[in-house]
Structure 1
Amino acid sequence: MKPEPHSRVPRDSIGNAAVFRVLASAEDMLIAVLVFAIFCVVLAGILSRFVFHVSLSWNIEVSVTLMIWMTFIGIAVGVRDRVHVAFELFEDRLSGRWFALASFVQMLLMGFLLVALAWGGWQFMQLGLDQITPSGIPQWISFAAIPAGSALGLLHLVVHAWDVAADAGLDARAPQGHGHTGTRTQ
């Protein structure tokens, strides 16, 4: 969503509770750690191949697994920060109850998608319980990112719905989620 110049920070938002700020910080830190870990694994593969002339057998699988986790945690962060796909063409012309209704419809559609992802990811994870990758990594570790990220996204979606339902976000269309407490001028 693009920022509105007349937006204000949601008042009495459940998303501003300490537990959600801690969760947002943990998610942000996890994304940073995953990016750094991917960097280190890829760099180790490059150095081992070109400096030591030895090819690592595990670095691609590990980096792909880390990338999968980063992607699905990133989806949850996108929902948290409300930078997901939205029908801005209609939102920009709505206010009050109509804006809340449009927000709920969007959240409902996104909720269906996240539930489907969580369910499918859970099934993939169950299939991968007895499988091991050629590098010895249990396959369920990669698949667990799908239900974990989807569940986090659903949690953030519920928090956003609660805020809209509690009349905390009807006029506040700012893209800040409950992880970011920036102030905006009117």
Structure 2
Amino acid sequence: MKPDSRARVSRDGINNTAALRVLASVEDLLIAVLVFAIFCVVLAGILSRFVFHVSLSWNIEVSVTLMIWMTFIGIAVGVRDKVHVAFELFEDKLSGRWLMLASFVQMLLMGFLLVALAWGGWQFMQLGLNQLTPSGIPQWISFAAIPAGSALGLLHLLAHAWDLAIDVDLDSGTQRGHGHGHTETRAQ
């Protein structure tokens, strides 16, 4: 049975530290603020055009920038809550050391992707330092979302890897919990 993606993931191990709980709350609040800000900017554009018969020159660029930030923070939240793509087809057939190995391989591949995104995003941000959009918004603000969201995702991925590593029964070499892609809470 597939886990409910809306269910909150239990935060065991390092993910239950105060710093990561505060970070999770900040990320959730930031997503909510970004959604509300996009709503307000788009509504302002609609009202200005159809009520006041004036077209705003900045609302599309601002809403796109906010959407980019929401997307990359959302990627980090997806990694944090383990609702990202996982190879569950293989995980469901594995157990013990093979499940742990498959989980680490998935995390390693995702880590490479996040590092590549962070690096590429950093380079884009550097290119946009001296550039402005047509409405005068510094271009680096949009590009900064890529390394910021990727770094947050990488932080959450490292926390999950740490939790997976300490969740191994050292005597038998088997994992006590589920693989990385699973969000079910296990019985304590």
TM range (shorter): 0.7 to 0.9
Change (3 A) 1:54 1:10: closer
Q: Is the 8 A contact 1:41 1:63 kept in 2?
A: yes
Aligned to 2:144: 144
Amino acid at match of 1:26: V
Give the Cα–Cα distance (whole angstroms) in 2 for the partners of residues 65 and 10 of structure 1. Answer: 32
One-letter code of the match for 1:82?
K
Q: Deviations over 1:108-152 (max 9, x none)?
A: 000000000000000000000000111110000000000000000
Q: CA deviation at 1:170?
A: 4.0
Q: TM-score, normalised by structure 1?
A: 0.88
* Contact 1:42–1:63 (CA under 8 A) maintained in structure 2: yes
Match of 2:42 in 1: 42
Q: How does 1:66-145 map to 2 (within 5 A)?
A: 66-145=66-145
RMSD: 2.2
Q: Is the alpha carbon distance of 1:97 and 1:39 closer, same or farther for their aligned partners in structure 2, counting shifts above 3 Å?
A: same
Cα offset, 1:160, TM superposition: 0.3
Supply the distance in 1 between the matched residues of 2:88 and 2:29 (Cα, whole angstroms). Answer: 30
Share of identical aligned residues, percent?
A: 84
In structure 2, what is the Cα distance between the partners aligned to 1:150 and 1:35?
19
Match of 2:177?
171
Q: Within 5 A, what are the aligned runs for 1:51-66? A: 51-66=51-66
d(CA) in 2 for partners of 1:24, 1:11? 11
- Alignment length (residue pairs): 176
Q: Could you tell me which amino acid in structure 2 is paired with residue 175 of structure 1?
A: T
Q: Hey, which bits of structure 1, 4+ residues long, moved more than 3 A?
A: 9-12, 183-186
Preserved contact between residue 96 and residue 171 of structure 1 (Cα < 8 Å): no
For 1:61 and 1:39, the matched residues in 2 are separated by: 14
Deviation at 1:97, TM superposition (A): 1.9
**Structure possessing the higher relative contact order (Cα contacts under 8 Å, 6 or more residues apart):** 1
User: How far apart, CA to CA, are the structure 2 residues paired with 1:171 and 1:184?
Assistant: 7
What's the TM-score, normalizing by structure 2? 0.87
